[in-house]
Structure 1
Amino acid sequence: MKYTEKVSNRLNDLLTRTYDAENGYKLAQDKIDNPSIKKFLNERVQQRYNFGHELKDEIANFGQLPEKGGSIKGDLHRTWMNLTATLSGNETERILEEVERGEKASLEEYNAILNDSDMVLPPSTENLLTKQRNAIESALNVSKRYEELVS
């Protein structure tokens, strides 16, 4: 596998996760009544939309084709969010727990790529991934604070 293919494949994996996160945030936003939390979730939808475009541009810079949709795993996670939210006594808390779970998984994937000693990332890619990872980490911290408030 060529260097550019390896990098773009990993970026495409992130892109798929980004589509999943964007769709998950849309679902969560539709199920929340609290205006502050709804605004936070809407901002995450827009953030992930922007992340997707940044990743697509970076993939295209490598002469590769970006992925076009989310994953089956993401679809299953959103179905699980729907089911558990309807069975849960505190829907907002449960949804925020699922948001956190998804964000932690995203952080793990970003960290795995950034810390992969077998793959040297171009500076533009490393900077982009670091910026996105830090934004996800910040969103995770805000989500945890909201969860503490509603529990």
Structure 2
Amino acid sequence: MENDSEIVSDLKGLINILNDGKEGYETASENTDSIELKGVFLKFSAQRAGYAMELKDHIAQHGGDSDNETGGLLGAIHRTWIEIKQALSIKEDVAILSAVETGENEALDKYDQLIVDPETHADHLNLLKTQRAGIADALREIQRLRQQFEQR
């Protein structure tokens, strides 16, 4: 297939985003005292790790490999921002949830960029749509929790 390198590159980009999310959720879980939020953050961290593994399988099908277990530079900056916002905020959990919300919106944008190109990603389009739906569900849960914690 002539566009295998494009597919591998696109999927590696998603793996970076997913690893950023996994690490971001781990960082968020370490920066909250809420047992409820710790559980939610660790659940979504594990979900992102699973999504990354699924994409690594597709990369292998297209002749590539992905050894990346951590996120990219922008993810590191975002995780640092979570820590800064947490340290400076009066309502720490709300700040963490807002930062996570930003990260989830970025992930959805990346998925949307690939889903609009169904020819290139035909053999794994359903997987991308399923993962995107999972991230959208996570975002809705994070938004609900942020609203709940804002009222406390």
Establish whether TM, by shorter chain, passes 0.5: yes
The offset of 1:2, in angstroms, is 3.2
Q: Is the 8 A contact 1:15 1:67 kept in 2?
A: no
Tell me the residue number matched to 1:83.
84
Sequence identity percentage: 30
Q: How does 1:1-150 map to 2 (within 5 A)?
A: 2-68=2-68, 69-116=70-117, 119-123=119-123, 125-150=124-149
**Structure 2 stretches of 5 or more lacking a match?**
none
With normalisation by structure 1, the TM-score equals 0.94
Q: For 1:14-54, what per-residue CA distance to the aligned partner results, in whole angstroms no more than 9, with x for missing partners?
A: 00111111000000011112222211111001101101111
The offset of 1:75, in angstroms, is 0.8
The offset of 1:115, in angstroms, is 0.6
- Alignment partners' CA distance in 2, 1:20 and 1:121: 22
The offset of 1:67, in angstroms, is 4.5
CA RMSD of superposed structures (Å): 1.4
**Structure 1 stretches of 5 or more lacking a match?**
none
- Alignment partners' CA distance in 2, 1:140 and 1:48: 13
- Alignment partners' CA distance in 2, 1:67 and 1:101: 26
Secondary structure at the counterpart of residue 22 of structure 2 = helix
Match of 2:99, as an amino acid? E
Q: Is the 8 A contact 2:24 2:79 kept in 1?
A: yes
The offset of 1:140, in angstroms, is 0.2
For these two proteins, the number of residue pairs brought into alignment is: 149
Using the TM superposition, name which of 7-16 and 65-74 deviates more.
65-74
Secondary structure at the counterpart of residue 90 of structure 2 = coil
